[in-house]
């Protein structure tokens, strides 16, 4: 049985962006509409949100990057943003960044419970993306760039290839 659809478009888009681009949740929550290309296919990561605060620094220097989105993903923010020209892509009614704990408690954890899956944090989206990159033999330098990693060892910690028995058997 599949879970009920995420009712709010902003949460649906947030999850798709984090999973398809490997964004840290704090990075995604601080995306300014002005940091998206006119065709919505590229997004600049320059800041992060933490507890409804804006930080002008990222976890690592490598975290400052431009993310290219697949055309099917790029269509989603275009539709969601509509005519807005500025402001945060994901924000509260008052314009502040959404709080990570609320996102987990109100959207992700209920979906996981409905699927009888254990709770997890937003980092699961990054692990999913990294595992997908590795399963598809993306060159390491591109992997590091996409994930905003400074070194290879971090990706080795995040990768879930060891748990993907079907993939390992096919190789």
Q: Give per-residue pLDDT as tens, 10-60.
A: 898 999 998 888 888 888 888 999 999 999 999 988 776 677 667 675 666
Q: Is residue 50 part of a domain?
A: yes
Q: Is residue 141 part of a domain?
A: yes
pTM assigned to the model = 0.75
Q: What is the tally of structural domains in the chain?
A: 1
Long-range CB contacts for residues 166-169, cutoff 8 Å, separation at least 24? 167/135
Residue 73 has a CB neighbour count (10 Å cut-off) of: 18
- Which of these, 94, 126, 120, lies nearest to 108 by C-alpha position? 120
Is residue 95 within 8 Å of 88, Cβ to Cβ? yes
Q: Is residue 3 part of a domain?
A: no
Is residue 68 within 8 Å of 42, Cβ to Cβ? yes
Q: Is residue 59 part of a domain?
A: yes
């Amino acid at each position: 049985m599949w879970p009920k659809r995420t009712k709010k478009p902003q949460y649906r888009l947030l999850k798709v962006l984090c999973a398809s681009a490997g964004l840290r949740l704090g990075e995604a929550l601080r995306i300014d509409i002005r940091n998206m290309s006119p065709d919505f296919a590229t997004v600049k990561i320059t800041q992060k949100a933490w507890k409804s605060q804006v930080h002008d620094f990222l976890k690592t220097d490598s975290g400052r990057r431009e993310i290219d989105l697949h055309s099917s993903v790029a269509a989603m923010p275009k539709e969601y943003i509509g005519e807005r020209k500025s402001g945060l892509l994901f924000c509260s009614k008052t314009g502040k960044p959404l709080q990570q704990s609320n996102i987990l408690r109100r959207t992700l954890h209920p979906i996981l419970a409905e699927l009888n899956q254990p709770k997890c944090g937003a980092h699961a989206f990054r692990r999913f993306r990294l595992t997908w990159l590795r399963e598809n033999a993306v060159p390491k330098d591109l992997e590091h760039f996409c994930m905003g990693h400074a070194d290879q060892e971090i990706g080795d910690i995040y990768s879930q290839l060891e748990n993907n028995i079907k993939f390992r058997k096919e190789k």
